[in-house]
Structures are given as structure tokens and as C-alpha cells.
Structure 1
Amino acid sequence: MKNNDVFKGLSNKSIPEIFANIKTPCYVIDEERLISNAKILSSIIENTGCKILLAQKAFSNYDFYQLLSQYISGTEASGLFEARLGAEEMPNGEVHVFCAAYRDDEFEELLKYADHIVFNSINQLKKFAKKAKESGKSIGIRINPECSTQTGHEIYDPCAIGSRLGVTREIWNREMTDSLFSMLDGLHFHTLCEQNSDALETTMEAVELRFSDVLPHMKWLNMGGGHHITRRDYDIQRLEKIINYAQEKWNLHVYLEPGEAVALNAGYLISKVLDIVENGDIKTAILDTSAACHMPDVIEMPYTPPLLNGYSNESKKYSYRLAGPTCLSGDIIGEYSFDNELKIGDFLVFGDMA
């Protein structure tokens, strides 16, 4: 992704003037970009009749839920508190919940907020489905199509060998009973991460191969998240073709639950240089922003976030390591080069932060 896409909302603007009165570190949302993303999602809903949910684990700034509700169908939650957030802040939308394992002491309350509940295992289906069904909820189970489309970062691949997420066909054949099957309304899979629709097409081929006998009995199919729909090079026509194929062939309703795509390039993290220290040949700019606290993906993935007027893959005249103010020695954001020398008090703007 090019930096001119990430920082499009800040083009031709003076950063010191814009953020002069902002106390850093500070997250800033670009509302125009958020609306632009939402309109793209809305057009897919209009063209296909599918429903699109906000995956709250990726974006849960509820100040914008009312705005987003004009364009999308509801929210997806990973537990009780996200379900409550979606129900309260987007009250006219659907609330879908998936959790790898539900807690006994929370499930009753969860039923107050959720419309659709997806179970991760047949054990969980046995334990909770009857109660959920009696409460009028739509019931689904997560399947594992055993089709990896990601390279690297296997720890984040739901189809990696030994994954705890979703029921494989082998387990389905061994444990699914007629009485449990009769309670199911839908299937759910989530296998993608920031990918294009060709990866979804590959996944759908695997889903159809393994579960073609199940799909005609379902009312809905949730294709999960990881669809980078609002990225400039995303093939929307292919996505719509996949959605239409599934809906027409199996007479069901398709759901998507993108997260990052809703807020892609719509947020910035504003930081300030507190000090610059040297050790050998390395100059480190210490910021008031911490990788560990403010952008944990930097350490966990790891990845290097885009930086306005900074280059992580090009060599410029001035090079610095950017790091946080904490005592954690690994609190390092990354290595960057600049055309101009950094000074104490300079503002730095990280992208991909919504």
C-alpha cells in the first residue's frame, strides 16, 4: 500500500498547524475517508443483496456507529461486551457473535444482545444451542475449510495445521448428529487477512468441496472477514460474483464481516519527538507514543507502520530508529529514513491506525 493512499486525507495540509492544539499521543479519525469506505460497502449490499457487518475487533469507535449504520447491516462481536456495544450503539442493526468458547456465567446475558450466535465446536453447540434457539436466536457453526491462502504469519492463519478455530469435515462427520444439525441455520468461516477476492474464491471452492451437501440446508453463509474491500486494487466485481453464486446456488443469504476495510486509511496516530539519543551509529528518536501500548501489532505481527514523510524501505539522508518512552527495551516502532533531520518537538503522523 502506497503512502499516498494512506495519507490522502492529509495531502496539501500543514501538519504543525493542524495538530498545534492537540495533546499527543492522539488518534485522529478521517470522517470523509470513513464515509468513502462505507459507501463502497453499501454499494456491494445494493448490488448483491448481501449483508455486511462491522467486525468490532478491528474498529470499535462507537462515536461513528450511528454514521456507519446508514451504510451497513450491523455488527459482529467476539464476546459479551462487544455484543452489548453493538446492540446499544447500533440498535437498528443485526448483532452477530462468534466466540471460540462461551462462558457459562455470561451466556444468558449474551442472549439479550445477540441475533445470531455462531459456535466454534460441536461440544459448544451441544451445550448452548438449545437455550439459544429457545430464545429465538439464529444458530450457526464455524467450519474450517482447511484451505490456507496466506503465506507467513502462520500464527494468524485460521486454517493452519492444528488450528483451534472451526470444525473440519472429519470432525463434522464424526460428531454431528441429526438433532444438532436440525438446529443449525447457517455456516460461518473466516480464513482471510487483508486479502483480495481471489483468495475468497479459492476458499469458497474448498468450502463447496467439503460442505456442498450441507449448504442447501442452510439459511445463511457468513464468509467472515479479512476482505480488503476498500483497498484501491481490490477486485469488487469478483467478490460480487462469488456472493451472487452462493446465494443463487444454495438459496441462502450471504454475510460478510470486514473490519479493517471499514476504516482503512481513515485513521492516524499523532506523536511527538521527546528526545533523540545516540548509541554507536544508531540515532533513536524517543516519542511520546509506545509500540507496546498504542500500536501492539507492530510488535505482535511484527510490522512497520506507514509514517508521513518517513520511509521504512528507502534510504534517505537522515535515518532514525523510532521508539517509545517506556522502560521496555523492545518498545521499538521501526527504522525510518527522512529527507529532513528530526528535531525535538516535531510531530510524526503514523497511518493505518483507525
Structure 2
Amino acid sequence: MTQWLSRVQTPAYVADIEALKQNLAVAAHIKHETGCRILLATKSFAMFELFPLFAQGLDGTTASGLYEARLAHEHFHGEIHAYSPAYSDQEIRDLLPFCNHLYFNSLSQLERYGPLCRAAHGERSQLGLRVNPQLSLVKNNPDLYDPSAPGSRFGVFKESLTPEVLATVDALHVHNLCENMAEDSVRLIHHLMNVMPDALEAVETVNLGGGHYFTHPDYEVMALIEAINMLQARFNVNTILEPGGALTFNGGYLVASVLDIVDDRAVPIAILDVSPTCHMPDVLEMPYRPEVVGDSPQGRHRYVLAGKTCLSGDVVGTYAFDAPLQVGGKVVIKDMLQYTIVKTTTFNGMPLPDLGVLEEDGTYRVVHSFGYEDFKHRLSKMPMPLLTESTLQEFQTALHWPPFG
């Protein structure tokens, strides 16, 4: 790691091509053993420089809105699926020219926009309806991440799947997991077969959504394969998976530099040129403690790794290293592709990290760098002209304000 790391200007996200290919190999194995289709969920990862790599092993993408779908149309060239809790009239009009796989969250949206899709794409149109299976399986912060939590806005209940409704759709969409292991994937599939067999028999396709963490070392891939094959054989349906995190799990890094060390605390604080709230928000939202290269339970030198924003809780966590950190030295945070690049902010004027690629031969290249203009143009277009003394007096008079001073 030392050779390529020395060439990285921080902060930088680094996509590891070798690791990503290993993840794609797992997806290819699932596809081969089941015949299912697998889509990249661009809400998790949308670094389109790497879309050609993902397109080699996947069937397309699934978008959460117009911009993600358009990006896939321009750079992925596979199937484009889209789901949103609600579409606007304009969004549907803009989606239809290049997206014929549309999933709706409610009966009212299906009734409103389904006919437009049928008219635009004819026999090529594929309409789906999201179903809430009312099966809570998400364990990490379920109030934030569980699609089946009480009061969830996602999907219709099985009671709404009348023969009349099912006659208008081609697919059922069930996205109900978040970083779940195989036992939960299997439980979800068996639950669907048990509670809504009539609905499964009425459609051509079942989209099992994402959250199947099939590249995690603890995930039993064969259990998923067997469950998918059982579902397909029993109900004669096609199946789709929409992973995001699974395809980029441990697929890259966020490389930071140590800017300062506050050493008059019980545990010294290393302030980095990256920020959890800006560059890895799930560390605070999920929350979780990411792995860091060199961290060891036996490490004699402990540090709190912290960001440089004004947010008091902008902290990565406490880590221990065999050697002391040095100002100017680098820190490599693992598993920093999923839900990072797509969620970055420039809060406090923090620079956006470079986007880089680590090739299989160990070479490193920068895909894109960001600067002040990227920060500026998210905030406004053109500033108001500075007020002269005369125009300021005119302005005060027009608003009936008393003079300043």
C-alpha cells in the first residue's frame, strides 16, 4: 500500500479495482446459479468513471430519481429501473424517454402515471408496485433504515394487491433490507411466498431490492441462491436484485492527512483533512466505527480521529496504532465507497475529496479533482452587486428604513 499511497494528494476517495472485481465475481456467481438479474443501485455508488466495469457483470442500474436515471442512460447502457416514493408530472415526462422500468410506491401514483408509461413504451413498458411486507429485519438503527418500521411511507400492504391492481402491473418490488445477512434474505423470500402467494402468481417479476450483503464474509451466498431458485420455480417468476453496498463493500478507501494533534487531552486528538459529516455521513447517521488501516487492539498509541469542521461530534472514533501518528502523515479509512461519494457536502467550506482509482497493477490515477468553483456554484449563481452609498440610501428610502449609524 505504501507505494501508491505516497502518490495520493489528500483528501481522496480511492476505488480499488481488484476489490471491486472480487465483489462483481460474487454477483456473477449468483446470476449464473439463479438466472436472476442484478442491478447497481446508484443511490449507493454513482462514480460513472467505473460504470463500464460494473456493466461487464451487471444487467443495468436502478435509480431513485431522474438525475440518477439520466446518468445511467448516458454512461451505463444497460437496463434502467427507477423507483421513487413519489414522482412529479415533470419528472415522469423527463424519465419516460429513456426509462421503461418504473416502480410506483402507491396505488394513486400507479393509476396516475402507469398509463403514460404504457403509452410511451407499449409492450416494452415494465410497471412495478412496491410492497411493504410488514416484516422488520433491519437491526442497525431501524427507526432510520427499516422500510417496514411502523408508519413507514414505503409501499402498499398485501391487502391492496387485488386482482384488479395486479392486472395492471408486471412486477412486485420489495426493498426491505439494509446490510442484512443471508438468513434475513431467506426469511424475506419465504415470508413473501407464505403471505402473498396469489400476488406472486399474478406477476412476471419479483424485484427483491437491495440490502442483501452478499459480499460480506459472513454472508452464506448459497442460502440466497437456493431461496431465489425456490421462489422462481414455485411461482414461475423472474427475480431481480438491486444491491448497492454489497457491490462496493470494502471496495475502496478515504485517504486523509493529519493536520494537527491536540495532545493535551486524555486521548490525543488527530485532526484530519476529512470530515465524517461531510465525507462519510453514515459514520454519524448509522452510526458505526469504520476500520482504519494500522488500527490494532495491541496498539500502544491511541488517538481520537476527528474532522476539521465546527461540528462538535465530527469524530470518526478512537483508534490505536503501533507507531505514533505524525502531522503530515496519512490515515487510510476502509470501506469508503458505499454511500459516501453520493452523499458528500461542502459544509464549512470543506473541499470535496479527489476521486481516484487504484488499478490492479498498483498504479494510481486521479479521475476528478474539485475546487472552489464546485463549492461556489452549489450556493448561488451570481452575487448581488455591492451597494454604493447612493443606492443604499435609495434602498433604505424605498423600504422606509431609518438611516444606519
- Normalised to the residue count of structure 2, the TM-score between the two structures is 0.79
Q: Match for residue 149 of structure 2?
A: 160
Counterpart residue number, 1:4? none
What code does the residue aligned with 1:214 have?
A
CA contact (8 A) 1:133 1:183 kept: no
Secondary structure class of the residue paired with 2:18: helix
CA shift in 2, pair 1:237/1:177, >3 Å:
closer
Of residues 130, 148, 156 in structure 2, which corresponds to 1:142?
130
Shift of 1:279: 4.7
Mapped partners of 1:307, 1:103: distance in 2: 42
* Superimposed CA distance per residue, residues 248-294 of structure 1 (whole angstroms, 9 cap, x where no aligned partner): 11111100011111111110010000000145413110000111111
Aligned to 1:332: 315
Distance, in Å, in 1 between the alignment partners of 2:146 and 2:318 is: 27
Q: 1:207-218 to 2 correspondence within 5 Å?
A: 207-218=192-203
Once the 2 structures are TM-superposed, how far is the Cα of residue 181 of structure 1 from its aligned partner?
2.9
Match of 2:28 among 42, 46, 60: 42
Deviation at 1:207, TM superposition (A): 1.4
Query: Which of these residues, 60, 71, 78, is aligned with residue 64 of structure 2?
Result: 78
How far apart are residue 315 of structure 1 and its match? 6.0
Q: 2:100 aligns with which of 99, 105, 115?
A: 115
Report matched runs for 1:56-95 at 5 Å.
Answer: 56-91=42-77, 93-95=78-80
Preserved CA contact (<8 Å) 1:143 1:168: yes
Q: Deviations over 1:295-332 (max 9, x none)?
A: 11111111111100124xx3632211111111222211
* Number of matched pairs: 333
Q: What is the distance in 2 between the residues matched to 1:44 and 1:151?
A: 25
Q: Give the unaligned 5+ runs of structure 1.
A: 1-12
Which runs of structure 2 are paired with 1:211-230 in the superposition (5 Å)?
Answer: 211-230=196-215
Q: 1:151 aligns with which of 139, 142, 145?
A: 139
Amino acid at match of 1:60: A
Q: Distance in 2 between matches of 1:191 and 1:279?
A: 47
225, 232, 254: which one aligns with 1:269: 254
RMSD between aligned residues: 1.5
In 2, Cα distance between the equivalents of 1:164 and 1:286? 39
Matched residues in 2 for 1:152 and 1:53: separation?
Answer: 24
- Work out the CA distance in 1 between the residues paired with 2:205 and 2:187: 19
* TM-score normalized with structure 1 length: 0.90
Between 201-210 and 60-69, the greater mean CA deviation after superposition: 201-210
Per-residue displacement from partner, 1:13-63 (whole Å, max 9, x unpaired)? 32xx32223210001111111112112211211221110000111111111
Q: Distance in 1 between matches of 2:34 and 2:194?
A: 23
Residue identity over aligned pairs, in percent, reads 40
Q: Counterpart of 2:268 in 1: which secondary structure?
A: strand
Residue 62 of structure 2 contacts residue 81 of structure 2 at CA under 8 Å; is this kept in 1? Answer: yes
Question: Secondary structure of the residue that 2:189 maps to in structure 1?
Answer: helix
Tell me which residue corresponds to 1:244: 229
d(CA) in 2 for partners of 1:110, 1:275: 48
Q: In the alignment, residue 83 of structure 2 is paired with which amino acid? A: F
Contact 2:166 2:199 in 1 (8 A): no
CA deviations 1:82-108 (Å, max 9, x no partner) are 1111111111x1111110111122111
Residue 191 of structure 1 aligns to a residue in which SS?
coil
Q: Spell out, residue by residue over 1:121-164, the C-alpha distance to the aligned partner (whole angstroms, 9 max, x if none).
A: 11211211111121222000010111112224112101111111
Question: Amino acid of the residue matched to residue 48 of structure 1?
Answer: T
The aligned counterpart of 2:358 is: none
Structure 1 match to 2:302? 319
Specify the code of the residue in structure 1 equivalent to 2:57. Y
The separation in 1 between residues aligned to 2:231 and 2:134, in whole angstroms, is: 19
User: Which residue does the alignment assign to 1:342?
Assistant: 325
The amino acid across from 2:26 in the alignment is I
* One-letter identity of the residue aligned with 2:328: G
The 3-state SS of whatever aligns with 2:109 is: helix
Contact 1:274–1:288 (Cα < 8 Å) also in 2: yes
User: Corresponding residue for 1:101?
Assistant: 86
**Offset of 1:209 from its aligned partner?**
2.5
User: Which position in structure 2 is the counterpart of 1:10?
Assistant: none
Structure 2 counterpart of 1:259: 244
